[in-house]
Structure 1
């Protein structure tokens, strides 16, 4: 009886792992709102983001080659992999299996990071929120995202249209936000060119291109750039002082290991996302726009040499 060479077995396993990675990547890409590999590549900045040609990326998605760790990081950021609960872990495990090659080594490493087999299932509310997010997610192009941060008026229009599925006139938006109607129209025209807004036949009313969807902004890193974040925070604080108020602030100071507190981040993120269950399409007189936010700051570190 002929026995297969170990090398042929390894090659067959590698092909199977490449195929598994390819199929999962394509599934995640479609769930992220990109119907094709080319759309995913171009919408996320092309070579400037992925640091490879489209053909090289296509080889990975088609299962012809494995991504380098650097390319996998770029793919994960473009997918915003942290939004794909469950499948994010599966993707990295498939990649780990592909990179390690040895099945025995993979099992030892996977066992060390695998969730406890008897861990309680996710609560029903959390499962419902995740399913809702997966069906409503819609990607925003880089051009549309750039328009959002072009100026304060454009920023506030994005807040309104990302959270209200109805139509608005320039006069209504001016009254709501406290900006001149001419500035509203200028920003609206910029959005129309990018496809972010759609105008009515008479050109007087505007609505978002993806009403009722959860819009996902492209990212180059897991964290948003600090300067746009600070600029938005200043605008949020200014708007709350002028036309709203701060309704809740909770704060806690503690000393801990960074590796420990970071295990808490995913829970905090899900808690913030959970507030979306109160989102409404109604435009009643007692409805309002809210910002729900969580911030964790490292204030300073203790270094032993400072105590010598």
Structure 2
């Protein structure tokens, strides 16, 4: 990976990486192995359209393009299709983050102490119980016996519709039938309340007018009302133990003072009542962030 950048080239005869690409008139490795492959795709689709060449490129990289995709009048369609299959940006970025971001076990002692106390305090002034957590950072273990230590580096909000569990799902015949019955009951109750003199026959006729479109519109309206709001997500790094749904944890701000909790029973009093810089929190959902997908 190091020689992919800089003044290096690949010698086809000796099968070796050599230095001095510019002085020897050779293509740098980044140009040869990265840019030229990208250029060839753009050339076959946009600059000099060549369907036969595009089919060969798709086959060589394992991408699937139908004849309709290849012959599409809008060149951006096959371009997006081939790149989404060949180099999906979310997976590519995630993979390189895993490779390049330092392992938590590689943390030095100074960095651990900086994470555990703010700039206004020294590590050796913390309570002994807090100082003992330093070993949990060093162990970086996922064992259930270890304390849960998580560092939240970013907090942001997204619309509820963007979350995986809230994405629109197509209704099955059974779902439509159930919703129809619920709407029938609701219509019957409202009709009875507003006009007690209505006969059962009239109510039945009104019920029969309920169509699948009414069901879909009702579901869509209720869904839009519930989903038209934002929720906050925290981007965090786990240094000890694991996060699980339904788990109770404490969110501590940089101004948190652990001395305020000495002698306090958190089963009897809320953490927030002791300090405004500590909050009890129940983990609801966990997400793997891949680009815009959660």
The verdict on a shared fold, with TM-score over 0.5 as the criterion, is: no
Bin the TM-score by the shorter chain. under 0.3
Larger Rg: 2
Q: What TM-score do you get using the length of structure 1 for normalisation?
A: 0.23
Q: Select the structure that is richer in strand.
A: 2
